[in-house]
Every structure is written in C-alpha cells, then in structure tokens.
Amino acid sequence: MTFSVASIRKDFPMLAEKIYGQPLVYLDSAASAQKPQQVIEKESKFICHHYAAVHRGIYSLSSKATAMVENVRQQVADFINAADAEEIVFVKGTTEGINLIANSYGYRFIKPGDNIIISQMEHHANIVPWHLLACQIRFDIRVLPIDNAGKLIFEQLDKLIDSRTRLLSFTHMSNVLGTVNPVKKIIAYARQCAEKKKAQLHIVLDGAQSIMHQMIDVQDLDCDFYVFSGHKLYGPTGIGVLYGKKILLNALPPWQGGGAIIDKVSMTLAEPSIINITYENAPWRFEAGTLNIVGIIGLGEALRYVNNIGYQQISAHETSLMQYANQRLSTVKSLRFYGSDERQGVIALNLGDHHAYDVGSFLDNYGIAIRTGHHCALPLMNFYQVPAMCRVSLAVYTTKEEIDILVEKLQHIEKLLG
C-alpha cells in the first residue's frame, strides 16, 4: 500500500478524541499503541459470530474457532520467521513470557552456584523474575553494563561468561532510551565466549519494544527465546507471544498446571495415592486453562495490518520523524536528553531540573500524552542519577505536526516554570 500517515490516522478512532478541549497528541505508544478499527472490528465480529471455547469441542463452532486460533499461531510464526508454528506459545504478554521461561527453563537448567547475565538497561520484567528465582535456587545474577551513551558494553561478556553461565537475557531495544542493541552481533559473540568457556548458554531476547519498529527474524538472530506483547504492536492487551526453539520447549516442564496441557492423567485410590501425568508437546503444554481467544484473533488482525503497511514504509516514516523530532526538540534550550542520538521510536528527556511528573502534567493540560516516571527501569534511572524521565514515543500514526505542538508547549512550560 502507498504510505500516507493521514490515511493511517483515520484507521485509529482514538486519535480523533479531545483532552481538555484540545486534540489528542498521543506520544506514549511505547507503553501501549492505539488500535486500528480493523482490529476492533475483527474482535467484535469474532465475538458476535464465531466465539466458542477452543481445543475442547468437536461441534462446528468450536472446530472453526480452534482453526482460527491455530491459523494465528502460524501467522505469528511466519511474522517472526519461526521454523515451526509449534514454536509459538500464547501468553498474556512479555512479562508473562519471561516469567514462564524463568519458572520453566530456570528450574530445568539452572542449579545452585550457576549464574545468568542480564543488562543494566533492562525493564523490571527482565529483572524481577530472575531475582525471585535466584532467591530460591541460589544462583548468581551478573549485570552487563552500559556506557554513557546508553549502549551495552557487550565486550564485557568475555569476562562475565564462565563455565557455569546458563542464560543471557537482555532487551532488543531499550524501553527508556530507544537504544537498539546489535543483538545479532551480541548473540554471536556470546555464543563464541560460551564455547570458549565450555558453557551451556541459552539466550532470551525481550522484544517488547523492537517488534513494532522493525522486522524480526528469530532464525537469523539465533536467539533461543523471543518474547513480545500484542498491545505494543497495535493489537489487544492481554495477549503476547513466547517464541522458543522447538527442541528446547519440548525439554521444559509446564509452568502452570491445568486443563489443555494434559496428554494423560491417572490416579490410584490406594494409600498413598499415586498420580501419573504426561503432558502435551509444546506449545500446548504451556497454555494451561482457557486462552485469551478474542485477543489472539485481534493479534492476528494487528499482524495483518502491519504487514499491509510494510515494515520498510513504517521504518522510513519513523526514521524521518525521529530526525525531525531530534532537530525540533533541540530548540528547547533547557531540555536534557538521555542515551545516544542513534535511537529508535523513543526519546528520553527532562526539562531542566523540573520533575518529569510536573512536565507531564502540564503537557496533559494541552492534550499531549507522554510517559513520565522511572519506566520500570530503576537501575537505568540510577545510572543517570535522576528520579524520573519524560519519555516521548512515536508510532506509525505520529505526525511532524504533533512534534511541533509538543515543542511549542515545552517552550511555553519552560517560560512558565523558569
């Protein structure tokens, strides 16, 4: 399709809303992107005409709903170039995906005295699950540092990896700084270091931020796991994806117990009773209970929407927009920027010494929505020695006119606050 941001904006009904009488300028897509009408209508149509429990019924409605869900699984596999649809596990989102890995892979492969590596720029979702697990298993967590430009010093992996390193888990793109890590290069280097140190190393990529900005090829990246959330990719909340290499997924135990993950269950009435359970193969052994069926259908439509536009056009628009935003924002004299100029989709800043919350509140009065706070990345705030940052994030529907409005209002706030 021919790219037209004006036409694309018409697909997003929320963008026509007003806040305090001002047109909405939505610059918080890194937290959650707005939803196109196509996704909204697809979910509504499914609820009205196709809804039924999946994987549980032989009647036609259930069979059709099951086929639709499994079609989306294949669609996701194609979208990220997984080798097999059975490498795609549906989860609530990135956070649940990482928790699943921690509580399945962690108990299977990590032993007391082992270690894993995460980075200094991680979201709490890629810190807390490992900390909770380490408190139980008693393994070490090592931290890959960043430099002043907000880039990973990945050469430090040669010092951090030893024979007892089991996992490297890090973000593809910083949710705060917009830094896009050279993940293919880092993964290749990590595997080289692991081979030299005779470490059985697996690699997790947090793709929550990168998935909306660039095409992902998990086979080319050679990661063992990749996780992302649907709601950051113009899809619904409450649905996400965990990709894992098939041979690895089938070696892991279920994380949650319940229906749909079972192959066989038997029990004896003798004392003590004996219960024997065998589980389905992946991905179904990780999908206990009733899936977010409607969310899966919405996710499929979101992927179709992105494919119809094309990542090449999305990237070209966002790159031009980021260059424009960097240029225009630099005219606000007291703005302080964090991270490198080589950022994607996200700009972290503060207005002088004013607290981010104050700036965000002022902008809200003008209908401008940005994210303020520590962005679930307190180690990063500590690195830059600030309590909070303002975060401006761009999407396929963001315009240069919206950047102009942001700059105008920041200059106004600058005069008001002094």
Contacts of 45 (CB under 8 A, 6+ apart): none
Does the model's pTM come out above 0.75?
A: yes
Q: How many CB atoms lie within 10 A of CB 213?
A: 26
Give me the pLDDT at residue 156, please: 98
For residue 191, the 8-state DSSP code is H
pLDDT at position 1, please? 56
Q: What is the pLDDT of residues 8-17, one digit of tens each?
A: 999 999 999 9
| Half-sphere exposure in the Cβ direction for 14 (13 Å, CA) | 17
Does residue 261 contact residue 287 with C-beta atoms inside 8 Å?
yes
Closest CA to 308 of 19, 55, 3, 80: 3
Q: If DSSP states are collapsed to H, E and C, what string results for 187-198?
A: HHHHHHHHHHHC
Report the distance separating Cα 18 and Cα 35, nearest Å.
17
Angle subtended at Cα 33 by Cα 356 and Cα 242, rounded to the nearest 5 degrees: 110
Q: How crowded is the C-beta side of 6, counted as CA atoms within 13 Å?
A: 1
The kind and range of the H/E element at 304 are helix 293-309
Joined tokens for residue 242: 């965990």
According to the CATH classification, is domain 42-307 in 3.40.640.10? Answer: yes
**DSSP letters along 223-251, please?**
-SEEEEEGGGGTS-TT-EEEEE-HHHHTT
Decide: residue 326, CB within 10 A, 0-12 exposed, 13-18 middle, 19+ buried. middle
pLDDT of res. 56: 80
User: What are the residue ranges in the chain where pLDDT is below 70?
Assistant: 1
| Secondary structure class of 152 (helix, strand, coil) | strand
CATH 3.90.1150.10 is right for the domain spanning 5-30+310-413: yes
Q: So where are the chain's domains? A: 5-30+310-413, 42-307
pLDDT at 270: 85
How far does Cα 224 stand from its chain's mean position?
A: 16
Omega before 236 within 30 of 0, i.e. cis:
no
Residues with catalytic roles: 376
